[in-house]
Amino acid sequence: MTDIDGSAVAAEIRSGVANCVETLTEAGVEPALATVLMSDDPASETYVSMKQNDCEEVGIEGVHVDVDSEAPAAELYDTIDELNADDGVHGILVQMPVVDHVDTRRVLRSVDPAKDVDGFHPENVGRLVAGNPRFKPCTPHGIQRLLDAAGVDTEGAEAVVVGRSDIVGKPTANLLFGRGEGGHATTTVCHSRTEDLAEHTRRADVVVAAAGVPEMITADMVSEGATVIDVGINRVERDGESTLVGDVDYEGVRDTAGAITPVPGGVGPMTRAMLLYNTVNAAAEQHGVDVDLP
Q: How many of the other CB atoms lie within 10 Å of CB of 97?
A: 11
Count how many residues are written for the chain: 294
> How is 150-214 classified by DSSP, letter by letter?
TT---TT-EEEEE---TTTHHHHHHHHHSSSTT---EEEEE-TT-SSHHHHHTT-SEEEE-S--T
Whole-angstrom distance, CA of residue 171 vs CA of residue 193: 19
Other Cβ atoms within 10 Å of 38 Cβ, number = 25
Closest to 24 measured CA to CA, from 62, 69, 58, 66: 58
The rounded distance, in Å, linking the Cα atoms of 190 and 209 is: 10
Marked catalytic residue, from 54, 95, 144, 230: 95
51: annotated active-site residue:
yes
| 50, HSE (Cβ side, Cα atoms, 13 Å) | 13
DSSP per position, 232-254 = --EEEEETTEEEEE-SB-HHHHT
- What is the rounded distance in angstroms from the CA atom of residue 281 to the CA atom of residue 74? 30
118 is catalytic: yes
Options 112, 116, 118, 249, the catalytic residue = 118
Q: Half-sphere exposure (CA, 13 Å, Cβ side) for 252? A: 14
Question: Catalytic residue at 144?
Answer: no
Catalytic positions, written as ranges: 51, 95, 118
